[in-house]
């Protein structure tokens, strides 16, 4: 991947602390606001243990994350909250105790145009 695309994507992903997560599967289409935090290109989410998102992710790991500034498509993987070297601010949130940590490996990021309609840039990070 080009250095510009990688650096631009890292900059865009690090700012929001919440995003809308969309999944689909046996529990139907689900959309919820979840806490998020990015480390480089990996985006970490806190998803409640009772969420239908987790049921959907067991069957299809494809996800879409959306904020006011960007839309991301990628693959989700449940991750251990106590992994060595994993320092995330969202893990200190009170709700982290009853949530599952999920890591999103993005394959495409669309950056939205500020104050206008449409997309400014699209980065294909990996093949889906």
Dist. CA 58–CA 3, nearest whole Å: 33
Q: How confident is the model over 7-20, as a mean pLDDT?
A: 90
Residue-level pLDDT at 105: 95
Q: How many CB atoms lie within 10 A of CB 58?
A: 12
Looking at 2.60.40.1180, 1.10.1740.10, 3.40.640.10, 2.30.110.10, the CATH number of the domain 3-124 comes to: 2.30.110.10
Q: Taking all residues of the chain, what is their mean pLDDT, rounded to a whole number?
A: 89
H or E stretch covering 48: strand 42-48
Dist. CA 92–CA 72, nearest whole Å: 25
What's 15-37 look like in SS3? CCCEEEEEECCCCCCEEEEEEEE
Residue-level pLDDT at 7: 87
User: How far are the Cα atoms of 35, 45, 119 from residue 8, in angstroms, in the given order?
Assistant: 22, 21, 15
Residue-level pLDDT at 37: 95
Q: If you count DSSP H runs as helices and E runs as strands, how many of each does the chain have, helices first?
A: 2, 7
- Contact (Cβ atoms closer than 8 angstroms) between residue 112 and residue 91: no
R_g of the chain computed on alpha carbons: 14
**pLDDT, tens only, 35-67:** 999 999 999 999 999 999 999 999 999 999 999
Token digits for 37? Answer: 């935090």
Residue-level pLDDT at 24: 97
Q: Which pLDDT band holds residue 83 (cuts at 50, 70, 90)?
A: confident
Q: How confident is the model over 91-112, as a mean pLDDT?
A: 92
Which is more confident, 25 or 116? 25
Token digits for 31? Answer: 């959309």
């Amino acid at each position: 991947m080009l250095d510009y695309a990688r650096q631009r994507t890292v900059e865009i992903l690090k700012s929001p602390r919440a995003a809308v997560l969309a999944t689909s599967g046996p529990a139907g289409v689900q959309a919820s606001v979840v806490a998020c935090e990015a480390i480089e290109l990996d985006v970490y989410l806190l998803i409640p243990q009772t969420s239908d998102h987790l049921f959907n992710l067991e069957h299809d790991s494809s996800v879409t994350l959306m904020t006011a500034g960007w839309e991301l498509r990628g693959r989700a993987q449940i991750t251990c909250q106590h992994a060595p070297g994993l320092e995330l601010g969202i893990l200190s949130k009170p709700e982290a105790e009853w949530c599952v940590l999920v890591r999103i490996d993005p394959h495409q990021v669309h950056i939205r145009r500020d104050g206008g309609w449409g997309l400014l840039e699209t980065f294909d990070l990996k093949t889906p």
